[in-house]
Amino acid sequence: MVEDGIKPDGVTFISLLSGCSHVRMVNEGKIFFNRMRSDFGLNPTLEHYACLVDMFGRAGRIEEALEIVKKMPLKPSGSVRGSLLNSCRLYGHISLAEAIAKLLFEIEPTNPGNYVMLSNIYANAAMWDKVNLVREEMEKRGLKTEAGCSWVQIKDRVQSFVAGGGFEFRNSNEFKRTWDELMGKMEESGYRADTGVVLHDIDEEMKVEWVCGHSERLSTVFALVHTGSGLPIRVTKNLRVCADCHSWMKYVSEVSRRKIILRDTNRFHHFDQGKCSCNDYW
């Protein structure tokens, strides 16, 4: 852009910083952030600081992310603190997460996402009593979470699935045959269900059952049944894809030799031959 005489604006730098965050280019991101003001006379906004905090937090440099929040000239917004809370989720910093969540509850008392993230942090640490306390607080405030749902289009018809639903299809011979064949090949290739993504205090067998009912899996198997061999599969999901479904999609793309494009709330994931375009970082 600069070589062509085009001056980058604030949106340009949000894209740059976000890109650096997702590919872990922390040092490059710092340089871009500093150049905003020094080279282009742009004052960083809250959105730029949120990207910067997210970049350090995702890289595990949480202390540096905290320092940025403390020293930034603007009052930290919910998105800035939310980035810190997400970093705590990624790296299991429970005490820090509790402190950040308390502030977020004051700033954004009706945002259910903050409560869900804290609940997930507790669940990952098997702190079920605290999980229940967060859920009770949500009920008291009348906050509800959105059910996981995925869509796949076959010809001119859109088929939707809700997590744990799709019983008519799941009970069909087509589904059972395709599912069993798929899982057999995937397990031979090394796939094992990650039940850690099930954030409820239930036994392992039930956790595996819950994971298998995630909506993006149902949509993908539906597409495998109803589309020709070799055709790409396109799935849209209303929430962030969980870690185990992400791993599952990679194995499906490998054993079925199909390209799978999954659009969740974070990004497009292009699964091909056992790999994802996000490099497992989303």
In this predicted structure, what is the pLDDT of residue 244?
85
Lowest mean pLDDT among 105-119, 147-161, 190-204: 190-204
Give me the count of residues in the chain.
Answer: 282
Distance CA 8, CA 122 (A): 42
Judged against a pLDDT cut of 90, whether residue 208 lies above it is answered with no
Q: Do 43 and 37 contact (CB within 8 A), yes or no?
A: yes
Determine the Cα–Cα distance for residues 88 and 95; give it in Å rounded to an integer.
9
Band of pLDDT at residue 206, cut at 50, 70 and 90:
very low
Q: What is the mean pLDDT of the chain?
A: 88
> Tokens at residue 68, please?
């940025």
The whole-number average pLDDT for the span 238-243 is 87
The answer to whether 262 and 268 are in contact (CB under 8 A) is yes
Coil, helix or strand at residue 275 = strand
Lowest mean pLDDT among 1-15, 25-39, 222-236, 252-266: 1-15
Give 234 or 208, the one with higher predicted confidence. Answer: 234
pLDDT at 51 over 60: yes
* Mean pLDDT within 168-192: 92
* Tokens of residue 188, six digits: 């031979």
Collect contacts of 193-199 with beta carbons under 8 A, ≥24 apart.
193/244, 193/248, 194/243, 194/244, 194/247, 195/244, 196/124, 196/243, 196/244, 197/242, 197/243, 197/244, 197/245, 199/119, 199/120, 199/123, 199/124, 199/131
Q: What is the pLDDT of residues 52-95, one digit of tens each?
A: 999 999 888 999 999 999 999 999 998 899 889 988 988 889 99
Q: What is the pLDDT of residue 155?
A: 87
Indicate the class that CATH gives domain 10-141. mainly alpha
Domain ranges of the chain: 10-141, 149-276
What pLDDT was estimated at residue 151? 95
Q: Regarding predicted confidence, which is higher, 65 or 266?
A: 65
